[in-house]
Amino acid sequence: MAYRRNYNRPYYGARSVTDAVPKTDGFASEKQRAFALRLVADIEAAEPGLPADLATAVGAMIAGIDGLATVLSDNVADDGTPAWRTVPTRQMSTVIDGLKAVSTLVANYKPADPALAAVGQHDRAMVTRFDGKCHRCGERTTAGTDWAVQAGGAWKAWCRDCASGATAAKQDDLAAQQEADRAASALAHQQAEQVFGAVGTNVLNGNAVRFAVPGDDGALRFYILKAGKRRFFMVQIVGGHAPQPVTVERHRQVLADLCFIGDEGIRAAVVRYGKEIGECGICGRTLTDEESRAAGIGPVCAGRW
């Protein structure tokens, strides 16, 4: 294989490390090219903000080493006999220059400040010297704790959270939370509808149903579920307090408790309420009769159910 003469500074001006990798004809073999590509992919993955000049230098160095490898591989004839030949000085210099350039750039290379991770391309950045307002989120920025960033000549104030990307992360979290809440709300609404459906309109007296369910810790919770015109309301009865409204939209616990009803059936939960509280779970009348108290439901409501 003939020594290729085209290794001189072949990849100047490359925009990324991958660009800087020689094309197939610059390498002795596809295998070497694949190796070089893998190497630069690793470098890019480890340091995504790699400056273009470093990328170019790495590419030139890889090309130089590859050229050298080509020369050295030519030193063995096909029959295995060593066929020594001199490595051209220029070839050697390319590699040495490449190594020097890369080591200098690496030594001087400062990775991006994580505190400014979301700022992007800028000329200068310094800690704020005056109070101001974040140009991104509008929050107040204070002297000594936030950032003043110059890009394209203009200075702008960045609060710490916007500069580091924490604001974006917070917004993502918030959006995910809202999405989860919407899903929970829809499910809770569905469960509430099922509870009313399971009791049946001929049984329901008014628009409420009372029930008790054991929580995760085994302690009973007492609820009144009311149907409004467009949504459901839950009231939790906690001894010694006025009944506490809990919005079905908000409380995951309510959803869990409604799902529990789905498992055991609403009647069991209504009867449990009646036995424990001493009120009919359907009409809310006090259960004084021995038989009703044992049944956990008033005689009229029991007859309809």
Size of the site for Zn ion (CB under 5 A): 11
Report the side by side order of strands in the sheet with 124-127. Answer: 124-127, 147-151, 154-158
Q: Looking at 55, 209, 282, 287, which residue binds Zn ion (CB under 5 A)? A: 282
CB nearer Zn ion, residue 139 or residue 249: 139
Residue 134: CA count within 13 A, CB half-sphere = 19
Binders of Zn ion among 117-146, rule CB under 5 A? Answer: 134, 136-137, 139
Least CB distance to Zn ion at residue 298 (A): 3
CA atoms within 13 A on the CB side of 138: 0
274 interacts with Zn ion by CB under 5 A: no
148 backbone dihedrals φ, ψ, rounded to 5°: -115, 125
Single out the segment in contact with Zn ion by CB under 5 A; choices: 120-128, 220-228, 256-264, 277-285: 277-285
- 220 Rama class: left (phi>0) / alpha (psi -120 to 50) / beta: beta
Q: Does residue 283 interact with Zn ion by CB under 5 A?
A: yes
Measured CA to CA, the distance from residue 245 to residue 251 in angstroms comes to 11
> Does residue 302 touch Zn ion according to CB under 5 A?
no
CB of 303 to Zn ion, least distance (A): 10
Instruction: Tell me if 298 contacts Zn ion by CB under 5 A.
Output: yes
The residue within the footprint of Zn ion, chosen from 213, 280, 292, 296 (CB under 5 A), is 280
Report in angstroms how near the CB of residue 280 gets to Zn ion at its nearest.
3
Residue list 14-73, contact with Zn ion (CB under 5 A): none
CB of 163 to Zn ion, least distance (A): 8
* DSSP string over 31-56: HHHHHHHHHHHHHHHH-TT--HHHHH
Tokens standing for 89? 């000085």
> Rounded distance, CA 291 to CA 198, Å?
24
Alpha-helix residue ranges (DSSP H) falling in the chain: 17-20, 30-46, 52-73, 89-108, 160-164, 166-199, 252-264, 266-277, 290-295, 299-304
- If one asks whether residue 209 binds Zn ion (CB under 5 A), the answer comes out as no
Q: Which stretch binds Zn ion (CB under 5 A): 50-58, 84-92, 210-218, 294-302?
A: 294-302
Interface mask (CB under 5 A) for Zn ion, residues 140-179, using x and -? -------------------x--x-----------------
Q: Give the residues lining the site for Zn ion (CB under 5 A).
A: 134, 136-137, 139, 159, 162, 280, 282-283, 298, 301
